[in-house]
Amino acid sequence: MPASEHERPTAPHKLELIGVGKEFRTKRATTQALHDINLTISDGEFVSIIGRSGCGKTTLLRALAGLLSPTEGRILVEGRSLWKDSKVDASVVSQLGVVFQDANLFPWYSVADNIALPLRLRGDDKDQRRERAHELAELVGLKGFEKSYPRELSGGMRQRVAIARALSTRPKLLLMDEPFGALDALTRERMNLELQRIALATGATVVFVTHDITEAVFLGDRVVQLTPRPGRISEIRTVGFDRPRHIDVQTGPEFGTIVRQLRHALDGQE
């Protein structure tokens, strides 16, 4: 029997980065923001990305989100190229959900209409949109606020709307760039727990950029550390705590050791 008949077809990785690099050229300078980034992410995995300011975290996330074309390498979502000759493949990008530090809500739309905006843009009918918006409002803990407007919400509630909106199209990948960076410490802690719950409930695969090592370790199945100029992966740390993780895991010795080691590695890059 030929060998190929014994081989099982393997599912492509959810996300695969192969030799990804990005160079910015301006009149004044050329900056190699990312160099030779290689990473594979599995279905349902939560990957945190940390690194010092300017090491290329946002550049990497923007490249993954289809907002900025890499100058080297390939990005594959479920085996399909996101970029082809510096042009983004719209059918691949439509399978991504993105959340930034600023919730970027439309002030004149209600919570439900903000959540359902991507569905409206792709032409879903009104009943489908309403049903999905209510389902997501409940998922992110905003049941009863569907008719409220962004100005009537706290910062944490606005970020919940942004997360619900990013999840509305049932994306294959959720990309988050410092989504809780503007929130106070207590709200941030609560949002970390909520995000973990939402990720577990939806089975979402998440790439999460943060400055905060504690947040990265608490949320991540793996923590990817970048070094600056050019941004490269210096370390990938697996975090094995059971889920759902209780906030008290942060006070345990093992958690403290991982955070200290990652902080020490970042300090060593000064």
Please tell me the number of Cα atoms within 13 Å of 190 on its side-chain side. 11
Q: Is 181 in the site for ligand ATP (CB under 6 A)?
A: no
Residue number with CB closer to ligand ATP (28 or 151): 28
Q: Is 251 in the site for ligand ATP (CB under 6 A)?
A: no
Q: Is 30 in the site for ligand ATP (CB under 6 A)?
A: no
Q: Is 232 in the site for ligand ATP (CB under 6 A)?
A: no
Angstrom distance (rounded) from CA 88 to CA 67: 8
Q: Is 53 in the site for ligand ATP (CB under 6 A)?
A: yes
CA distances from 73 to 65, 69, 246, 266 (A): 15, 10, 38, 26
Handedness of CA 16, 97, 182, 241 (dihedral sign): negative
Residue number with CB closer to ligand ATP (31 or 94): 31
Query: If you ran DSSP here, which 8-state letter would residue 89 be given?
Result: -
Cβ neighbors of 148 (< 8 A, separation 6 or more) are 110, 111
Identify which of 115, 57, 65, 113 has the alpha carbon closest to the alpha carbon of residue 88: 65
Residue 188 near residue 180, CB atoms below 8 Å: yes
Stretch that binds ligand ATP, among 3-11, 57-65, 165-173, 258-266 (CB under 6 A): 57-65
Identify which of 96, 98, 103 has the alpha carbon closest to the alpha carbon of residue 176: 98
Among 12, 36, 43, 54, the residue binding ligand ATP under the rule CB under 6 A is 54
Among 35, 57, 188, 222, the residue binding ligand ATP under the rule CB under 6 A is 57
Residue number with CB closer to ligand ATP (13 or 232): 232
**Between the CA atoms of 55, 90, 196 and 250, what dihedral angle is there, to the nearest 10 degrees?**
-10
Stretch that binds ligand ATP, among 13-21, 55-63, 91-99, 214-222 (CB under 6 A): 55-63
x/- site string to ligand ATP, residues 183 to 212, per CB under 6 A?
----------------------------x-
Among 11, 19, 24, 144, the residue binding ligand ATP under the rule CB under 6 A is 24
Residue number with CB closer to ligand ATP (73 or 118): 73
Contacting residues toward ligand ATP, per CB under 6 A: 24, 26, 31, 33, 51, 53-59, 211
